[in-house]
Structures are given as structure tokens and as C-alpha cells.
A and B are shown apart, each in its own frame.
Chain A
């Protein structure tokens, strides 16, 4: 049974409902018209987490310039990015490490590696009583992470850091516990500079660490380093810069001690002999001012896309990324590509990517 008041409410609700339905219909009409007028091109990509901030920025800026183009990116990790581009479920992939020959062979679609920005990895530490920059030689880094150098006042460390007063304290190694491009770059570097490392550990996104604790993500490693006196770990340069974490300098192949910065990271890519498919490791490069623990990160572009229109849009985006896009990198602490690499990439994209 309904009282008078509630009946009134009922009528009112009914009127209101009519109104709502009408306005919904109107909205629907507008939406249909709008979608006819601007046929949106949606591109989907997936992969590496490390370049996610700059990629989001690029895709967003590009959408502002071309309102009919929407590029979606899921930062699901390099491994997942490679798998998805192999299976053809995304329009492009992204990875912090180049695909292996085997992975390229298994892939259903042919893939071109397009370097986008550079990143580098720095050693961060927490040594009680030491506030200045600590210098690391390749041998010292390999020795510490292999567990052969266990004390901060070991001769190998003190001899390259004259004047620094190291405590007699045990070294605690902190590494990434999650599979990561950062680990790949760091272990790739150690494999190049140390036979011992190459033989016992090797390089991968996760490895069997001889010593130490695992922290999750850059923040996990940095947090552990801050907490544990006598600890050392490796983190991305971007993370160290943005959070103002002090880090050490590393000796490069020309015996110069180089502090990681955006310039010295870009310098790492300058003197490297670039193969035609851009799958190159630039750790321990020949350049005089090059920071030795650096790497490209790549977009994985199918060379003959199933949808020609999408392929065309993606190609246009790549050219924009190599010109205008490169100027946006430094604001987000990514190192831009050297000019000669940009030119090489443009030529390769024009030649190899259809249409």
C-alpha cells in the first residue's frame, strides 16, 4: 500500500526517469555522431616498465597533437612485452633487453628493434662514516657482487680511493628480487668485465646471486640500502636522480672514473658500432667520457603490420618520437639518443617497416 506522499514521490521519480532516459538517448546520438566524425585509431602496446613515464608522456602529447590517434601502453614488463609481440596480440612491444636470436626465430611476426631512450644503472651504498663519492673499478664491483670482497676496508677498495677512511665493516649486497631490465643491464656489464662473473652467474633479468638480499623494485633496493649500514646495491640513474640518492663513480674502459649523468649516458652510445638490427649491448663501451653501465631501451615494431592503417600511424609516430620526442626526454631524466643513432633509425624505419 502506498501513502499519498509516496505516490507523489513515485510520479516525480517517473517524470525524472523519463527525463533521464531522454537525456541518455540524446547523449547516445551525440556519441554515435561523434564516433562517425572522428574515426579513432587505437594502437595497443605492451612491455618494459622502465621507460613507462616517458612513453606515457609521448603518447599523451601525440594524442594532443592528433586527437584521432590514441596509443595505449601497458607496462607489464619486458618479458611479457616480448611474448605479446611474438604472438601478435599487440601492435607493438617494448623491452629493456634485445630479443634473442631464438626469440626472433620463434616470433610469428618479423620485428624491428627501435631504440628510444637510454638508461643507466648506478651503484648506491651506505657506508657509515663515508660521505663522499666512492670510486669503483670493474674488478671491485665484480668482487663485491661475487662475494669475494666482503669488507669495506678491503685493499682492493681502499687502493682506488686514497684519502677515504673506510670502516672495518661487512659488506651487505642488495639486489633486485623482481625480474628487471635493470638487473639485465647490470649483470650484462659484470659479465663483460669479469670472466669469473660470466662463468658462474651470467646475465639475465633474474640471476642466481652469489650473495645478498633481494629488494622489490628500485624503491625496495634503495630502501634497504638506506636501512642497512654497510650495504651496496644497484639502482636506475633516474630513480637516484629523482630521489636524490648519492651514488658512486665507475671506471670505464678508458680507465677514466665517470659519474653517471644524462650526458655521460648518451656518450655511452656514441662510439658504439651499431649493427643493422639495433640489437646492441652498450655496456662497457669504448668512449672516453662514456658511463660504462648503460643501455638502450627498445620499441619492438612489427615490420609488416596486419592493419596497414595502424602501421602507417605507428610509423608517423616513430618519426615524431625521433625528432620532437627526443627533446622531451631530459625533463623526465631520460638520456636522449645521439644524433647519428637517430639518423640510422630513420633510415631503417623508412626501409624496413611497411607500408
Chain B
């Protein structure tokens, strides 16, 4: 049997690059029967000794796989339906105004989602702004320049970052990061970049900036490990080819490695963004929890996930609960839109030829 092409998952450019390597039989393979021949023989034997027995298992297998595929759609639809159903009261009361209302007053029963949407988006993009260069740097170092012995240690440490519970990040944020920000970084930023308007006002340490930094630390392992995997998958002969043309090391990494890996890297960034948008505990501990749209990154903010986690358990009154569920709906929509935009971005980079893996 020749290399079968899965119609659901056509080979990526990476795979095409690898093909020539596969086509040349290695020394070990010479003189042996090709693997496909062996499996074909086994298959023939099974077919002859147990006639037609494979049809039923095949059918069952097909149905199970189909059901798993359908379940994804079903779950998404159920989530949307449930969110719409439980927020019906708030949807009815505020209509579309909920999505541009600024007020959040549980006592007066007046609710709007803008400060939370703003906080979620700003903290997540701030996190990506800090995390993407750092993660790519880590991945480049590990795959291209790192001594073999150090490589395992660094990879292990990066993955360890992903295993730390978010409440620990939150506590670390309150007790270590916030004082550092308040004493050193924020005064420095206010002096040097205060004129931009992003770094003004009272310095609490806690606030949007702290949330962005904590989130950045939390998404670095996600982006770095995916970037590393993708970069490792770039065939060695690509590197050699670029070097043979007289490129420096940096040019080799830029043209030979990063260029080939860019789709996978964007996929990793999207995964990281997903984590940043939904992160609750660590953010709520450092962001200052004030439903307000402020230009300064020193000011406290609030995110959608945080307000749900904070207020859901003690929410009394049906309208209040309904409004909190509608915040959940807003979070769902924002995630959907951001992901769609990210996919469009990938599409425009690659000219529509490739797909994102993640």
C-alpha cells in the first residue's frame, strides 16, 4: 500500500519538505520486506480465516468516531443554549445595551458588560505582547543554540511553569510581584513613558499591568513548548541548505526555521490567548477588581471570568444572576470572535494554503 493520504488532514508544507528524506531507503531497510507488505499479508490472512468478520467492528468503530465528532458540536450548542436560556431575564431587560453599558450596580439592578470585556481583552493582549517574544526566544534557544545537557533542564523548567496552579501565581502576584511593581517598575514607567497616558495615576502595584504580567508568565509555557515542537519538526536539511547559501546563524534561524514554523507558532499563540482569556483565579487576585475602563495600565480593572467567579456564589436576586450568566455569554462570544480573527490572520499570512494545527 502506498502512503495513504488522509482526506481530513492533508499534509502540511512541513510534511512535503520531509518527503524526500522518507523516500530514500535507509541502510537498515535495505534487503527487508517493506512494512506495508507485511501488514498487507497479515490483513489477507485475517480476511481468509475469518471471512467478513471485520465488517461489524468497522461499522461500530465508524459510528463511535462519528458520535465523538458530533458530540463536539452538541456540546457547543448546548453551552450556547444554556447560556441564552439562563440569561433570558437579563437579555430581555437590557437588550443589546448590556454589551455597551458601563454600569455594574447590583444594588440598583443595573448591569453592563463593557468594563469586563475591556479588562479581559486588554489583560490578554498585554500578556501576549510580553509572552510571545519571550516564548519564541526560549524556543529558539532550546532548539538552535542550547548545549545538549542544558536543553532537557530548560524544557523541563518551562513545562513546570505550566503545572503550577493558578492560585499560586495569584498569591505570588500579591506578595512578590505587586510590591516590585509598586516600588520599582511603576515609578520607572511613570517617569519615562508617563506622557503616553498608559502609565499614570496612583501606583497600587495591583492592577491591569500586574494582571498582564502574571498572565504572560502563565502563557509562556504554552507558546514556548508548541513553538519548540514545531521548530524541532523543521527538517535538518532546511537549516543546512540555508547555511550552505552563506547565511549567518541568525539568518538561518529566521529564514530556515522560523519561516517554516510560523504557522505552528501562530497556532501556539492562539492556544496561549485562549488560556489568557479564560484565566480566572490568578487574574482576580492581582487585577484590583474594579469595573472601570481606564486608559492607564496602573489602574485596577476587572475581567469577565473574574466577575463570574467573584459574584456568582453570593448573587441574590434573579436579575443579578441572569446578568452574570450573560457575562458568561459575552465571554463565549468574545472568545469566538478573537479566535475567528486569529484564524483569519493565519489565513492571510499563508495566503490560504495552510491550516492551523491547534
Stretch at the interface among A1-9, A210-218, A298-306: A210-218
Contact B206 A224 (CB under 8 A): yes
Query: Please, how many angstroms separate the alpha-carbon atoms of A76 and B289 in the complex?
Result: 21
**A227-B178, A227-B179 as given contacts; A215 in contact with B289, CB under 8 Å:** yes
Contact between B108 and A78, CB atoms less than 8 A apart: no
* Interface: A80 (CB within 8 A): yes
Across the A-B interface, the 10 shortest Cβ-Cβ residue pairs: A179-B314, A214-B289, A77-B313, A177-B289, A202-B107, A208-B105, A205-B314, A178-B310, A79-B314, A179-B311
Complex formed: what's the CA distance from A201 to B105 in Å?
8
The residue that A82 contacts in the complex, of B105, B170, B316, with Cβ under 8 A, is B316
Interface check A181, CB cutoff 8 A: yes
A212 to chain B, nearest CB (A): 7
Residues on A with beta carbons closer than 8 Å to the beta carbon of B175: 223, 227
Q: Which residue of A lies closest to B284 (CB)?
A: A216
Residue B202 interfacial (CB < 8 Å): yes
CB distance from A208 to the nearest CB of B (A): 4
Q: A177-B310, A208-B106 are in contact. Are A79 and B316 (CB under 8 A)?
A: yes
The 8 Å CB contact of A216, one of B103, B182, B285, B290, is B285
User: Is residue A295 contacting chain B, with contact meaning CB distance below 8 A?
Assistant: no
List the interface of chain A (C-beta within 8 A of B). Answer: 49, 76-80, 82, 97, 100, 103, 170, 172, 177-181, 201-209, 212-216, 220, 223-224, 227-228
**Which of A80, A177, A204, A214 lies in contact with B313, CB distance below 8 A?**
A80
Residues on A with beta carbons closer than 8 Å to the beta carbon of B202: 170, 172
Q: Which residue of A lies closest to B174 (CB)?
A: A223
Give A156 to B289 CA distance when docked, in angstroms. Answer: 29
Cα-based distance from A181 to B291 in the complex (angstroms) = 20
Asked whether B300 lies within 8 Å of A224 as measured between CB atoms, the reply is no
Q: A78-B314, A178-B314 are in contact. Are A202 and B290 (CB under 8 A)?
A: no
Q: Is B116 an interface residue (CB 8 A)?
A: no
Q: Tell me the bound Cα distance from A213 to B290 in angstroms.
A: 6
CA distance A80 to B314 in the complex (A): 6
Please tell me which one of the listed residues A78, A181, A213 contacts residue B288 in the complex, with CB atoms under 8 A apart.
A213
Whether A179 and B174, one on each chain, are in contact in the complex, defined by CB atoms closer than 8 angstroms, is no
CA distance A234 to B42 in the complex (A): 75
Assess the A203–B290 pair: CB atoms within 8 A. Answer: no
Please tell me if the beta carbons of A179 and B313 are within 8 angstroms of each other in the complex: yes
Structural contact, B174 and A181, CB atoms closer than 8 A: no
Interface of chain B residues 161 through 178 with chain A (CB within 8 A): 170, 174-175, 178
Contact A206 B314 (CB under 8 A): yes
**Chain A residue contacts of B106, Cβ below 8 A:** 204-208
Interface hits, B268-289 → A, CB 8 Å: 284-285, 288-289
A-B contact count (CB 8 A): 103
A-B contact pairs, 13 of them (CB 8 A): A79-B314, A178-B313, A203-B107, A205-B311, A206-B314, A207-B105, A212-B290, A214-B288, A214-B302, A223-B175, A227-B174, A227-B179, A227-B182
In the complex, what distance in Å separates the CA atom of A70 from the CA atom of B315? 29
Contacts of B310 in A (CB 8 A): 177-179, 206, 214, 216
Q: Using Cβ atoms and an 8 Å threshold, which residues of chain B touch A82?
A: 316
| A78–B314 alpha-carbon span in the complex (Å) | 6
Q: A227-B174, A227-B178 are in contact. Are A179 and B315 (CB under 8 A)?
A: yes
Q: Decide if A224 touches B174 in the complex (CB within 8 Å).
A: yes
The dominant DSSP class at the A interface is loop
B205 at the interface (CB under 8 A from A): yes
Footprint of A on B, CB under 8 Å? 103-108, 170, 174-175, 178-179, 182, 202, 204-206, 284-285, 288-291, 300, 302, 306, 309-316, 321
A208 B104 Cβ-Cβ under 8 A: yes
Distance A79 CA – B178 CA, assembled complex (angstroms): 32
Tell me the smallest distance from the CB of A132 to a CB of chain B, in Å: 25
Beyond A216-B284, A227-B179, whether A206 also contacts B289 by CB under 8 A is no
Residues A180 and B174 in contact in the complex (CB < 8 Å), given A170-B202, A214-B289: no
Q: Which B residue sits closest to A187, measured CB to CB?
A: B107
- Complex contact B300–A213 (CB within 8 A): yes
The CA-CA distance from A109 to B288 in the complex, in Å, is 40
In the bound complex, do residue B311 and residue A178 qualify as a contact, i.e. CB atoms below 8 Å apart?
yes
Closest to A179 in B: B314
Given contacts A79-B315, A177-B284, A208-B104, 19 further A-B contacts (CB under 8 A): A76-B313, A77-B313, A170-B202, A177-B289, A178-B314, A204-B106, A205-B106, A205-B311, A206-B310, A206-B311, A206-B315, A209-B290, A212-B290, A213-B300, A214-B300, A214-B310, A216-B170, A216-B284, A216-B289
Alpha-carbon distance A181/B314, docked complex (angstroms)? 8
B47 to chain A, nearest CB (A): 24
CA distance A207 to B104 in the complex (A): 9
Query: Is there an interface contact between A205 and B315, defined as CB atoms closer than 8 Å?
Result: yes
Task: Give the residues in chain A near B205, CB-CB below 8 Å.
Answer: 227-228
Tell me which residues across on chain A come within 8 A of B311, comparing CB atoms: 178-179, 205-206
Interchain nearest-CB distance for B159 vs A (Å): 28
Q: Are B290 and A214 in contact (CB under 8 A)?
A: yes
| CB-based nearest A residue for B288 | A213
| Given known contacts A179-B313, A227-B179, A204 and B107 CB-to-CB distance under 8 angstroms | yes
| A220 and B174 in contact, given A170-B202, A208-B107, A213-B288 (Cβ under 8 angstroms) | yes
B170 to chain A, nearest CB (A): 8
Give the distance in Å from the alpha carbon of A200 to the alpha carbon of B309 in the complex: 26
A213 touching B316 in the complex, CB below 8 Å, given contacts A207-B106, A223-B175, A227-B178: no
CB distance from B301 to the nearest CB of A (A): 10
User: In whole angstroms, how far apart are the Cα atoms of A177 and B313 in the complex?
Assistant: 12
Query: Most A CB atoms within 10 A — which of B175, B178, B310, B313?
Result: B313
CB distance from A61 to the nearest CB of B (A): 27
Q: Give Cα distance in the complex from A180 to B206, angstroms.
A: 21
Q: Is the CB of B107 within 8 A of A172?
A: no
A142 to B321, CA, bound (A): 28
Contacts of B103 in A (CB 8 A): 208
Given A213-B290, A223-B174, A228-B205: A103 touches B316 (CB 8 Å cut-off): yes
Q: Are A201 and B314 in contact (CB under 8 A)?
A: no
A8 to chain B, nearest CB (A): 31
Q: Separation in Å of the B191 CB from the closest CB of chain A?
A: 19
Q: Which residue of B lies closest to A175 (CB)?
A: B289
State the CA gap A76–B309 with chains docked (Å): 12
